[in-house]
């Protein structure tokens, strides 16, 4: 019997397991780290990894620059396929719009240039072209 089949209102699961099962984090240890660092709030309160999550709870989850605000719809402590994991929660409309706007803003920014070590011979030639060789 799958954990999602249990429609018991009294059932509660650890929040770190739920975050992992809902595929917000790749491993349970990453979800524990996020909880300990305060990147996950349950009903607006910072919680510990052993906190029980219940249906109807509102979670604010920060992953990198993005913030997800989700309502818990179902409970599961087993990680399943992505479509099944998406049935565990519903993201708020405001959260979706905010993430979409931030994504578009980040895409519009120029890509950072990463320079490692000394320039190669090819890089030096391009630099000289840009400077307008005065020699």
> Which pLDDT belongs to residue 38?
92
Quote the CA–CA distance of 128 and 116 in Å, as a whole number.
19
- Which candidate, 69, 60, 64, places its Cα nearest to that of 103? 64
pLDDT over 90 at 106, yes or no:
no
For a pLDDT cut of 90, what percent of the chain falls above it? Answer: 64
Q: What's the pLDDT at 127? A: 85
Rounded alpha-carbon distances, angstroms, from residue 47 to 28, 67, 114, 116 = 15, 17, 38, 41
Neighbours of 21 (CB within 10 A): 25
Return the pLDDT at 114: 67
Walk me through the domains of the chain, giving residue ranges and CATH numbers.
Answer: 3-99 (3.10.290.10)
Average pLDDT over residues 97-122: 84
Instruction: Output the six-digit token pair for 67.
Output: 């913030």
pLDDT value at residue 7: 47
Residue whose C-alpha is closest to residue 72's, from 43, 46, 29, 35: 43
CA atoms lying within 13 Å on the CB side of residue 102: 12
Instruction: Decide which of 118 and 16 is more confident.
Output: 16
3-state SS of 18-65 is HHHHCCCCCCHHHHHHHHHCCCEEECCEECCCCCEECCCCEEEEEECC
pTM exceeds cut of 0.75? no
Tens digit of each residue's pLDDT (9 = 90 or more) over 2-61: 544 444 455 668 999 999 999 999 999 999 999 999 999 999 999 999 999 999 999 999
Percent of the chain with pLDDT over 70: 86
């Amino acid at each position: 019997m799958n954990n999602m089949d249990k429609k018991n209102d009294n059932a509660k699961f650890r929040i770190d397991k739920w975050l992992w099962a809902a595929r917000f984090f790749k491993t349970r240890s990453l979800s524990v780290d996020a909880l300990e660092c305060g990147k996950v709030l349950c009903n607006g309160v910072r919680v510990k990894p052993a906190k029980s999550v219940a249906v109807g709870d509102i979670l604010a989850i920060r992953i990198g620059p993005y913030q997800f605000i989700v309502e818990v719809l179902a409970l599961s402590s087993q990680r399943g396929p992505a479509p099944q994991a998406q049935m565990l929660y519903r993201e708020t409309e405001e959260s979706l719009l905010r993430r979409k706007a931030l994504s578009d803003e980040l895409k519009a920014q120029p890509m950072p240039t990463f320079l490692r070590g000394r320039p190669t011979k090819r890089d030096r030639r391009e630099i000289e072209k840009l400077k307008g060789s005065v020699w």
